[in-house]
Amino acid sequence: MSIKLDLTTAGNPDLSGYQALVTQIHQKIQSKTGTGSDYLGWSTWPFDYDKTEFNKVKALAKTIQEKAEVLVVCGIGGSYLGTRAALEMIQGLYPSRKLDIVFLGNTFSSTYIVQALDRIKDKNVYVNVISKSGTTTETAMAFRLLKQFLETKYGKEEAKKRIIATTDKARGTLKTFADKEGYATLTIPDDIGGRYSVLTSVGLLPIAAAGIDIDAMMEGAKQAANDCMSDDLETNTAYQYAVMRRLLEKEGKSVELLVSYESQMAMVAEWWKQLFGESEGKENKGLFPASVNFSTDLHSMGQFVQEGKKILFETLLLVKKPMLDMTFPEDIDNLDSMNYLSGKTLSEVNLAAMKGTLIAHHDEAGIPNMILTLDDFSAKSFGYMAQWFFTACGMSVYMLNVNPFNQPGVEVYKKNMFKLLGKI
């Protein structure tokens, strides 16, 4: 289990000049003394996560599996993206599981909300409302609708048994609300912020309810934490990636394009965008994290990458072993002239598309390409990847002299919206 990092097509520079800075930041992360150090809990979480809480997650997940047809996951940002990323990466976009998982609380879109409520109306429903602050408007709005829906459908007492609130252990409206109503509650650790929280109860409950092995996920995370223990830039791939981002930025790049070749990785890219965008886009600094899914987006964004303004570099997030595969069949008439692919597996064709694109983008268009390779789509790989990216993100953002764990800019739209809506 690992993430391989290949820098050959990113100029393969000598990174040793950054060793002293990396060591200094590494020590701050390890001793939890850097800026925003109150939120460095993720760095040791795979070793010291709360096992009692973990077992409570498993028990609640079992109840949901036994009793529900639909689990509504009500949350936004870090209280939503990691869960969806894990579900899609590990189970694919058309999973065969019994439990339908519906996401709410992640938008004000009226059509989305009404359609989602309509989809669940005749089903046996459980709700997991997730908010660390307990005050997020999108989530609180959807939760009121869900609560009223459950109460109308099942009555007040039964509705209470179908709601699980994942929130701060003491603060926030949701905590007070949950205690008053007597909902089952799960806790988000004080020292882990939203976008670093997928490996806490935030992600673990819905992920376990979907039938995914959360022990394996935490095992993968632990392995990544162990692999990232050393500050040695020769061996710590997360730190190599962190430094390379800053180097490419220095060379004039302002956009990092995360590229995947698997449709089930699209939400991983959304999760990654939040992690890096919200962590480093401050004080007029930071790379803009963008993403594409090839070959799909080669037919849209591929043109810009090949011939547009040279503002970006690519980070390929590849997965060695496909979840499923098949061999392309022979056709006796060959009217579509596709017999040149007969006998090849679909994944061989995908690999050829990746190699051909790498030559086009790197060799021919001069775009630096870092290549990250995961072993497979397993829960263990997801856990490894999440912890590895947390580590890389912490290092890379600290290198900018920015606090990776706050998001002051997010408050600005809220302030204006509340004024417009007459909130006092």
The residues that touch ligand PA5, with contacts defined as CB under 6 A, are: 76-79, 131-133, 136, 139, 193-195, 278, 407
Q: In what order do the strands lie in the sheet with 288-293?
A: 3-6, 369-374, 312-319, 255-260, 288-293
Q: Which residue is nearest to ligand PA5 (CB)?
A: 194
Closest contact distance (angstroms) between CB of 92 and ligand PA5 is 25
Q: At what angle are helices 237-250 and 19-30 packed, to 10 degrees?
A: 130
What letter represents residue 81's amino acid? L
CA distance 351 to 331: 23
Radius of gyration (Cα) for the chain, nearest Å? 22
Which one of 121, 310, 344, 414 is the catalytic residue? 414
Closest contact distance (angstroms) between CB of 407 and ligand PA5 is 6
CA distance 161 to 145: 17
Longest dimension (CA), the chain: 72
Peptide bond into 295 cis (omega under 30): yes
Closest contact distance (angstroms) between CB of 191 and ligand PA5 is 13
Structure tokens of 344? 């090849």
Which one of 299, 309, 411, 419 is the catalytic residue? 299
The answer to whether 278 is a known catalytic residue is yes
Closest contact distance (angstroms) between CB of 236 and ligand PA5 is 25
Cβ atoms of 67 and 126 closer than 8 Å: yes
CA distance 232 to 230: 5
The answer to whether 364 is a known catalytic residue is no
The dihedral sign for the CA sequence 137, 140, 143, 145: negative
Q: Which is nearer to ligand PA5, 10 or 146 (CB)?
A: 146
Which one of 278, 280, 362, 380 is the catalytic residue? 278
Closest contact distance (angstroms) between CB of 254 and ligand PA5 is 22
Closest contact distance (angstroms) between CB of 403 and ligand PA5 is 12
The answer to whether 361 is a known catalytic residue is no
Q: Which is nearer to ligand PA5, 202 or 248 (CB)?
A: 202
Q: Which is nearer to ligand PA5, 29 or 76 (CB)?
A: 76
Strand bridging mode 312-319 / 70-74: unpaired
Q: Which is nearer to ligand PA5, 201 or 369 (CB)?
A: 201
What letter represents residue 298's amino acid? L
Q: Which is nearer to ligand PA5, 135 or 345 (CB)?
A: 135
CA angle (35, 85, 372) in 5-degree steps? 75
Q: Which is nearer to ligand PA5, 194 or 220 (CB)?
A: 194
Cβ atoms of 402 and 286 closer than 8 Å: yes
What letter represents residue 24's amino acid? Q
Query: Which positions are catalytic?
Result: 278, 299, 414
